[in-house]
């Protein structure tokens, strides 16, 4: 019962965060220099009837608080209006669904690479603290996390796509094999940044676990190295790694924008950049709220994962 109350508090906090985000996004777009009517008209020729229709449709003749209340009422029902410049007349929700799938595939592919490569490297580095292997892995992680996303993307595109011709350099491909081949290089580029963070987090967690007495006792009992690594070291080091998922999401959202642009992937990041450039206010507002919901959901899932992995967290939540 208390765990359910704990989750309800997290949900309430997420709803409050989304409300604040909606106010900030609406306010910033309202304060953007330029005429809202001119932005809504786009390339269409101005006429008194068109100006009147747009003014009434978007409540531009009413106070900003009333305009926000109308927009919020539609947003609650997933009605963010229609695109005014990216794809004129297309519902914003339709645009989001058309582009978010590709971004989700890229993110999932990258996370699989991070889980398969980053976590084992971090464990090896932490278990061999101070050794040559540890120093080499730490150096690579530092270089990867320090390099800007656009530099890494362009370098990977030129080296592995143009010079070596190992991967396609643009587009999404057709069919499962084609999509997998076109997304491999972008996923590896994004995974290099995310994996570097996971390696450092895992290493720090494993270094702390290795120093604990229960790991020493497990070695003295003659348990196999694999059992010690998986059952004791990995499980106890998993909590700080899992809790870093929120940070990984924020980094993936920002770095994914550059990756999609460099590799010409029509994902959510490309849609957001196009909408901002074209001053497509409804699309920008809809995407901002969709990304906000994604952040809230991921953080809630992280809280649930921590409760499952660490019994001490369950005890702490039930104890208030």
Grouped pLDDT means (10 residues each) for the chain, 320 residues: 71 84 81 67 69 72 79 82 76 85 84 83 77 82 80 84 80 77 85 83 76 66 67 67 71 77 82 79 84 81 71 53
**70: Cβ contacts below 8 Å, ≥ 6 apart:** 59
The reported pLDDT for the residue numbered 109 is: 85
Half-sphere exposure of 249 (CA within 13 A, CB side): 18
The reported pLDDT for the residue numbered 225 is: 66
The reported pLDDT for the residue numbered 67 is: 78
Domain that holds residue 206: 104-279
Residue 168 forms part of a structural domain: yes
Residue 233 forms part of a structural domain: yes
SS3 (DSSP) at 91: strand
pLDDT 10s digits, 154-182: 888 888 888 887 888 777 777 777 788 88
The reported pLDDT for the residue numbered 142 is: 83
User: How far is 192 from 14, CA to CA, in rounded Å?
Assistant: 30
> Are 183 and 172 a contacting pair, CB within 8 Å?
yes
**CATH number for position 115:** 1.10.3720.10
Pair of tokens at residue 67: 């305009």
Query: What is the count of structural domains for the chain?
Result: 1
Residue 256 forms part of a structural domain: yes
Residue 246 forms part of a structural domain: yes
User: How far is 14 from 24, CA to CA, in rounded Å?
Assistant: 15
Residue 237 forms part of a structural domain: yes
SS3 (DSSP) at 177: helix
Half-sphere exposure of 3 (CA within 13 A, CB side): 12
The reported pLDDT for the residue numbered 291 is: 82
Residue 216 forms part of a structural domain: yes
Residue 210 forms part of a structural domain: yes
Residue 18 forms part of a structural domain: no
């Amino acid at each position: 019962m208390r765990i359910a109350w704990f989750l309800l508090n997290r949900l309430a906090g997420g709803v409050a965060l989304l409300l604040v985000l909606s106010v900030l996004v609406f306010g910033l777009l309202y304060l953007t220099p330029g005429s809202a009517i001119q932005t809504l008209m786009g390339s269409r020729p101005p006429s008194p009837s068109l100006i009147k229709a747009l003014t009434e449709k978007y409540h531009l003749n009413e106070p900003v608080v009333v305009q926000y209340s109308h927009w919020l009422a539609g947003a609650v029902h997933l009605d963010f209006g229609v695109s005014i410049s990216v794809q004129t007349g297309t519902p914003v929700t339709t645009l989001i669904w058309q582009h978010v799938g590709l971004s989700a595939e890229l993110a999932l592919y990258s996370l699989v690479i991070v889980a398969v490569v980053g976590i084992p490297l971090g464990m090896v580095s932490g278990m061999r603290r101070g050794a040559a292997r540890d120093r080499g892995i730490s150096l690579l992680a530092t270089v990867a996390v320090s390099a800007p996303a656009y530099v890494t993307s362009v370098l990977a595109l030129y080296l592995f796509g143009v010079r070596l011709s190992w991967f396609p350099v643009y587009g999404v491909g057709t069919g499962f094999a084609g999509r997998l081949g076109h997304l491999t290089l972008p996923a590896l580029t994004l995974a290099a940044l995310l994996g570097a963070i996971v390696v450092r987090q895992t290493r720090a967690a494993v270094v702390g676990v290795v120093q604990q007495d229960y790991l020493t006792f497990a070695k003295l009992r003659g348990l196999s190295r694999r059992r010690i690594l998986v059952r004791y070291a990995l499980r106890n080091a998993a909590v700080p790694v899992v809790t870093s998922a929120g940070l990984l999401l924020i980094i993936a959202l920002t770095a994914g924008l550059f990756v999609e642009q460099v590799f010409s992937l029509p994902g959510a990041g490309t849609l957001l950049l196009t909408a901002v450039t074209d001053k497509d206010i409804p699309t920008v507002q809809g995407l901002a709220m969709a990304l906000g919901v994604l952040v809230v959901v991921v953080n809630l899932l992280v809280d649930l994962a921590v409760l499952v992995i660490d019994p001490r967290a369950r005890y702490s939540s039930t104890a208030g």
